[in-house]
Chains A and B, each alone.
Chain A
Amino acid sequence: EAGVTQFPSHSVIEKGQTVTLRCDPISGHDNLYWYRRVMGKEIKFLLHFVKESKQDESGMPNNRFLAERTGGTYSTLKVQPAELEDSGVYFCASSQEGGGGNTIYFGEGSWLTVV
């Protein structure tokens, strides 16, 4: 069974450009999460989808970040325009139907560098 996959694995863009990160969750997982780790800091929650609906987007830093999950399958996270402080690792994770005990599986992360 395929795990959570993320694309691209690495991206280097200039300040002001746009980047779109993609996440394919494990098949059948309704819950999809985005997390981010900025260098030297904790991994922080960004948002949570249940199927195609945004359950919680309280962790999104600002309106330069837009996440979508059309059809309840894969998700995209767009940063437009990118700023230097957006550099970090963006993790996607997925889990089965809600319940605190479900294992949450992470992808390998998308490493974003804004120069």
Chain B
Amino acid sequence: AQKITQTQPGMFVQEKEAVTLDCTYDTSDQSYGLFWYKQPSSGEMIFLIYQGSYDEQNATEGRYSLNFQKARKSANLVISASQLGDSAMYFCAMIFPLQEGGSEKLVFGKGTKLTVNP
């Protein structure tokens, strides 16, 4: 069964420093995608970054980068130069390819609460 594990319920980082949020996954599928979402206190789920299992390079989106290590089945999110506005819940999620008669489902981890201190 597919599973996402986020082992850090909470993380603290000083403003302007970098932080790594851990995510490991378990799947026997060869084709899948990995997402990171941010959920601030206002509640919305904000898409941050996506990595496909066949992508050879790590995904980057501005201050966000995904440290994808396929053999270790890890997809850690690195946030560089943390800002106060980065304080939020962060969810790692995995998606599987659409199969005939099937469905694209996101499987989520429990989330990591990041607090950026001034």
A-side residues, CB < 8 A to B, are 9, 31, 33, 35, 41-45, 48, 55-56, 58-59, 89, 91, 93, 95, 98-101, 103-109, 111
Contact = CB atoms under 8 A, between A and B. Distances in A.
7 contacts: A9-B43, A33-B105, A48-B103, A100-B98, A105-B47, A107-B45, A109-B45
Interface in B92-117: 93, 95-98, 102-111
A105 B93 CA distance: 13
Given A99-B98, A100-B31, A91 B105 contact: no
A7 to B, nearest CB: 13
Given A99-B98, A100-B31, A108 B44 contact: yes
B91 A43 contact: yes
B32 to A, nearest CB: 7
Contact of B50 (A35, A42, A101): A101
Contacts, number: 75
A103 B105 contact: no
B28 to A, nearest CB: 16
B90 interface: no
A107 B44 contact: yes
B25 interface: no
A98 to B, nearest CB: 4
A56 B46 CA distance: 24
B111 to A, nearest CB: 8
Nearest to A89: B43
Contacts of A107: 44-45
Contact of B105 (A56, A89, A101, A105): A56
Contacts of B50: 101, 103
A95 B103 CA distance: 12
Contact of B110 (A41, A95, A105): A41
Contact of A42 (B33, B35, B109): B109
Contact of A103 (B47, B91, B97, B111): B47
Contacts of B47: 103-106
